[in-house]
A and B are shown apart, each in its own frame.
Chain A
Amino acid sequence: MSAQTPETRAPETSRMRGLMLVAGREIRVRGLSKANLVSLIVTVVIVGVLAALPTILGGGDDEAEKIGLAGTNASAMEGQLNAMGGFDITMYDSADEAERAVEDGTVDTAVADGTLYSEENPDQSLQAQLDAAWQAATVQTNLADAGLSDAEIATALTPRPLETVTLAEGESDPVTSYFTGLVISIIMFMMLMTPVQYIAMGVVEEKSSRIVEILLTSLKPWQLLGGKVIGLGVISLVNLVAMVAVGLGVSAATGVLADLPPGTASAAVSTIGWWLIALVLFGTLAGGVGSLVSRQEESGSVLTPLIMSLTLSYIGAIFTLNAPTSTFAQVLSIVPPFSAITMPTRMAITTVPAWEIALSIALLVLAAAGALALGAQLYKRSVLYTGSRLKLTEALRRAA
């Protein structure tokens, strides 16, 4: 019979093919759905705007500050300000002229004979710069008056700056670390919450529409569940990559990119590793508990424990950010499933001993393997059962 040709394909290939077909369908139907595309575009636009925001708001800073100088120390001031950079300097013959230039707006600020003229209160950083320049200029003038040569004055005025020696290696700015940790915890939370809910919804959809009965004549339950987890994982990852790409692209275009803390890339890669393990853990459990119910309205109640533990993990991660060395943070970042979000967050803010990281990964992988087995069993046993909600114990007692 003509239909027998596919049989020649190795079963191994068709097994993978089934898995990939299911994943592909999820990506096509859910990832390319209007709802997802619209929400992705909206998010990307928001991220883009946020990334461009510092440049838009601070736009004025790029323009050179117009300064008028006159009177005592004017030429020394000019030298100092030029050294600082970012000033557009006009020299005036008298303090009066300089004052008038401020009044008619030719310059923003003027310094003459030890007085600062400004239309409004000058902003603090400008005032600090002018102050510093004034003091340096005064010292310079005084030193020159005392008979020092220009070279001697230059040496006297340029002390060697403090050299910073960081004792703990890799320890970076605490504010940046906090921020990195915060971003990691938020992204991990979102990237787990969304697929978990969609996986459960998808399972219930197939169950409530009874389509699962046709699907299971050509697919194994693990292919159906695994394909869903993979598909929704890919969608989440693509959404995240799109967001990050736009964020980094806009940052690079506006020149903010250089400010990214060092180690961002490696933190991102390791976070994706943590996320993958956590996705297997939460995703398969979501599929398993989703199969316990037959109606979409009931899916919320069975998902509650998963949503709760995700939320607790997130709260734990925030706590860790504030007390990264506490015993609680230490325990939370080792015990699955909380470790999935807590550990990468803790790693961002403090140096975690290698053995803790290794233990945490090992326990999380074990938990994910357990979840995979449990979720797949639950799914296999209850996905074809329709009617009222199955209790967990009932489902496990049912013959597959």
Chain B
Amino acid sequence: MLEIKDLHKRFGDTVALDGVSLTAAPGEVVGFVGANGAGKTTTMRIAMGVLAADSGRIVYNGAPLDVEARRRFGYMPSERGLYPKMKTAEQIAYFGELHGMSRAEAKRSAAALLEQLNLTERSGDFVQDLSLGNQQRVQLAVSLVHDPEALILDEPFSGLDPLAVDVMGTALKDRAAAGAPVIFSSHQLDLIERLCDSVVIIGNGTIIAAGSVEELKAKEVKQLRVSVQTAQDLSASLPGTVTRDGDDYLVEDADDQEVLRIAAAAGRVTHFAYDQPTIAEIFREAVTR
């Protein structure tokens, strides 16, 4: 269990974080969403010990997160960085060793990741000679080389091609399935929706919404969408607030069973369900509120 508790951080007069808390249970994939400048990167950097918080704590499996435990974490910072004049395989293996692997283990793991990322034939090339996309894949390999037991990834999908997105998505799911807590931020909300068990939305340094994907969707549900094959206009006869969306009726603040009865009386009901908002809609709603 990785717990981020009540982080506060100021940069000069700017309040970057104002009591940010979030948790990731073992095996849970947490999506961290927020506008630019909302505090995602600051939170993650503090969690990884790269930045010191003014107050607040990071607790991992019940104990304060220290350097030794952090070494077993996988981290991808938002600003990507690699040694330009170091060979690809050598570089990935070096980071494996820094994370406590033996040289042989690190080499083996690096080779396996390069294979997975279709980069085997570039193993001996300098990183600076790779395309930007391939450098991103190397960056990904660097964060996964030591088989991390927890992942904190800042925008891991940005700049990745579809293949690398799949590899990354699979890697996150695999690590979570092995019991690792995973926190990642992204602006690609469709990916969040597909991969995450829960979502945390941050705005202006405070958490504005958090919960499992289902919970959040359920909380936002308001509209009942009804499709009826009829020549009549039911706008006036249906209870509650009724709006039209094409041929559909969107009903709010009404007893759904009564709506169904009236609709069924008017004609054949082809669609009758509450609209499930997408994470994108929830996010927009949460941020503008």
Q: Which residues of A contact B (CB under 8 A)?
A: 1-4, 6-7, 9, 11, 14, 18, 21, 25, 28-29, 33, 205-206, 209-220, 384, 386, 399-400
A216 interface neighbour in B49, B73, B90, B95, Cβ under 8 Å? B49
A209 and B99 contact, CB distance less than 8 A: no
Stretch at the interface among B77-85, B186-194, B204-212, B246-254: B77-85
CA distance A210 to B79 in the complex (A): 6
B: interface residue count bin: 35 or more
Q: Which residues of B contact A (CB under 8 A)?
A: 45, 48-52, 67-68, 70-73, 75-77, 79-86, 90, 94-95, 97-101, 142-143, 146-149, 178-180
A214 and B81 contact, CB distance less than 8 A: yes
Quote the shortest CB–CB distance from A233 to chain B (angstroms). Answer: 20
B80 and A210 contact, CB distance less than 8 A: yes
CA distance A2 to B72 in the complex (A): 11
Secondary structure call for the A interface: helix
A384 interface neighbour in B51, B97, B179, Cβ under 8 Å? B51
Q: Which residues of A contact B94 (CB under 8 A)?
A: 21, 25
Quote the shortest CB–CB distance from A19 to chain B (angstroms). Answer: 11
Q: Which residues of B contact A205 (CB under 8 A)?
A: 83-84
B50 interface neighbour in A25, A33, A217, Cβ under 8 Å? A217
Q: 4 tightest CB-CB pairs across the interface, nearest first?
A: A6-B100, A211-B81, A210-B81, A210-B79
B97 and A1 contact, CB distance less than 8 A: no
B77 interface neighbour in A29, A210, A218, A220, Cβ under 8 Å? A210
A213 interface neighbour in B77, B95, B99, Cβ under 8 Å? B77
* 25 CB < 8 A contacts A-B: A1-B180, A3-B72, A3-B149, A6-B100, A6-B101, A7-B68, A7-B72, A11-B68, A21-B97, A205-B83, A205-B84, A206-B81, A209-B81, A210-B79, A212-B81, A213-B79, A214-B76, A214-B81, A214-B143, A215-B98, A217-B48, A217-B71, A218-B95, A218-B100, A384-B50
B101 and A214 contact, CB distance less than 8 A: no
A209 and B83 contact, CB distance less than 8 A: yes
Quote the shortest CB–CB distance from B94 to chain A (angstroms). Answer: 6
CA distance A234 to B75 in the complex (A): 31
A216 and B84 contact, CB distance less than 8 A: no
CA distance A211 to B91 in the complex (A): 11
B49 and A217 contact, CB distance less than 8 A: yes
Q: Which residues of A contact B85 (CB under 8 A)?
A: 29, 33
